[in-house]
Amino acid sequence: MSYLDWVNSPKDIKKLNLDELGELCDEIRKLMVKVVSENGGHLASNLGAVELTVALHKVFNSPNDQIVFDVGHQSYTHKILTGRKDNFATLRTEGGISGFTRRDESEHDIFSSGHSSTSISSAIGLAKAKSLKGEKGKVIAVIGDGALTGGLAYEALNNNECSNLIVILNDNNMSISPNVGSMAKNLTNIRTSPKYFTFKSKITRFIAKVPKIGSHITRSITAINQKIRKRVYKNTFFEDLGFRYYGPIDGHNLEDLIDALTVAKAHSHAVLIHINTVKGKGYEFAEKDPSLFHGIGKFNIETGEPISSGDTFSSVFGKSLVGFAQKDSRICAVTAAMATGTGLVDFSKKFPSRFFDVGIAEQHAVTFSAGLARNGMVPFFAVYSTFLQRSYDQLVHDIAMQNLKAVFCIDRAGFVGEDGESHQGIYDTAFLMSIPNLAVYAPAYFDELSSMMFQAIYKDTTAVAIRYPRGKECEKPEGYEYNKEAFSVFGNTDAKNCIVTYGREFCQCYSALNSLDSAFVIKLNRIKPVDEAVFDYLKNAKNVFFFEEGIKSGGAGEHFAALMNKNGVTATFRHYAVDDGFVKQAPVSTQLKKYHLDTESIVNEVNSVE
């Protein structure tokens, strides 16, 4: 019987010795690789956090001690150890466990997550609430994998006033200054020894009891200790912010981790433990290419090769941008730590002086792009739809209000399938529709994406957003050609029913056309501003059906309905979109069907109306 078979809750871990815990870590890694190879997911980050998570549950008592995982994409070991081992094979599947932490999934998932750099802020709030209520227990924020490049993390660090807070900085080759030299290493080993900490506490209490001079001596010793640490440690940033700093510590050495966490648990002061880990640890292919295995689809365990291949909207965007940049020296590429995911790796190699990875800092990326635009460059900021949400203020204030020409290439727009609630790209259309001096395009096919990028560079005079879906293009209708106009019309425009749509959803609507009794389709290539010449086609329509792969409230459909009224169109308007809710993880095909956006649903909805 394996140790993994025997461990069903965090309490079981406390019964294992170091050798047994090491075996458990190996078994967890094998399970992770197997399940992610079949379901896809965040593999490299999770492989690097196995020993850390095991040590956390060895030392602390979840959920009384509350563990908050930043992003939540490194919580797989945590899920396995907190009662979800038997369901782990359902990871990221419909009705299965999430790839991120979810409060409704387990009492051990303290905070639902999915976006970066939030853990310290939420942990400080949790810790402060514990203190106010007189509750015992620690709050532990686990942050790393680039999350410390996000500004919110620094706002939180600056707000640290909690004695029951522990921050674990999981450093997997980030740009944090290392503490060099054997003196720092040896001092860390001594300071994180439970025996040393116990001895130090006893001596401190003894000295404090010395009449008249005890407290003075204690303060003097503390001041001397601080000076020694600043001399020995190159990185005193966290100490200056009020943390007791320990590190760096080998994040794959269980004994060192357990010692450090035990000492931190005994502290009556905020503590930051800096650990070094290897992203992808234990799986050769993930160690060699952690970027590829950061978030990966199904892959072959033996070769490490992704099962899906071929062009995607992301790769076509990257190739197109390289082509434009070869001819136009004004073009720059900006990414927020997502060069691989957004297709910019080739651009970064060919034009290193015009490629900018600003870290997980989407707000900065937008305003930085504004600066580039102000001085004559043409910046392309490639960003996932779900992450652009953070930059609404900058889009309004620093881009649109100043009427600057920047191009926002919005990847993963619409449903993204198994990534779940936090990553669905269904909100960008709604908030972009509210911003002046911004044109919004929505290609359905690869060639349309390239054409719209050209339009954005050389024809549009305002900022431009181009939103496109994850993955491959759908099958083109025979004889289909992009007319490069603001909209396209398909079918008999004398029909009583008009279907209006944009982006990938056009594929579903066009497929439905041959099965409809009396209908034609209008495809909006530019969804903002709408070319009001489109309403000339609706004068004789009895019903208008608007299908969009996005949120209904404030979306393109509501905007279109208002313009219909303005232009005197009297047809009955019906709007199909996501209505006031979060989209659960499931295959995209299932999500489309659930929200009546698949071909069959479109046929049923249109033909059911007289």
Could you give the CA distance from residue 234 to residue 177 in angstroms, rounded to a whole number?
8
Q: Which of 390, 467, 504, 526 is catalytic?
A: 390
| Chain CA centroid to CA 98, Å | 14
Q: Which of 29, 84, 279, 467 is catalytic?
A: 279
Helix (H, G, I), strand (E, B) or coil at 43: coil
Backbone angles phi, psi at 505, to 5 degrees: -60, -20
The CA distances from residue 416 to 70, 345, 465, 583, in Å, are 21, 22, 19, 10
Closest CA to 252 of 296, 287, 303, 292: 287
Is residue 123 a contact partner of residue 92, using CB atoms and an 8 Å limit? no
Mode of pairing for the β-strands spanning 271-276 and 244-250: parallel
Is residue 224 a contact partner of residue 216, using CB atoms and an 8 Å limit? no
CB under 8 Å to 580, separation ≥6 — which residues? 552, 553
Could you give the CA distance from residue 136 to residue 149 in angstroms, rounded to a whole number?
31
Residue 492 DSSP symbol: -
Alpha helices for 158-277 (secondary structure H): 182-191, 194-208, 214-232, 237-240, 254-266
Is residue 508 a contact partner of residue 598, using CB atoms and an 8 Å limit? yes
Q: Which of 51, 84, 354, 362 is catalytic?
A: 362
The CA distances from residue 151 to 114, 121, 146, 157, in Å, are 16, 11, 11, 10
Is 133 a residue of the active site?
no
Could you give the CA distance from residue 76 to residue 89 in angstroms, rounded to a whole number?
11
Q: Which residue has the tokens 């949790």?
A: 126
Q: What is the DSSP string of 303-328?
A: T--BS--S--HHHHHHHHHHHHHHH-
Helix (H, G, I), strand (E, B) or coil at 364: helix
Q: What's the length of the chain?
A: 610
Is 548 a residue of the active site?
no
Is 459 a residue of the active site?
no
CB under 8 Å to 281, separation ≥6 — which residues? 29, 47, 48, 50, 252, 287
Closest CA to 72 of 9, 26, 117, 127: 117
User: At residue 303, what is the residue type?
Assistant: T
For the record, the structure tokens of 585 come out as: 């993880």
For the record, the structure tokens of 210 come out as: 């010395």
For the record, the structure tokens of 412 come out as: 């993963």
Instruction: State the virtual CA torsion across 354, 357, 362, 366 in degrees, nearest 10.
Output: -10
Mode of pairing for the β-strands spanning 244-250 and 66-69: unpaired
Closest CA to 448 of 474, 417, 414: 474
Query: Residue 580's CB: how many other CB atoms inside 10 A?
Result: 7
Residues with a catalytic annotation lie at 279, 362, 390
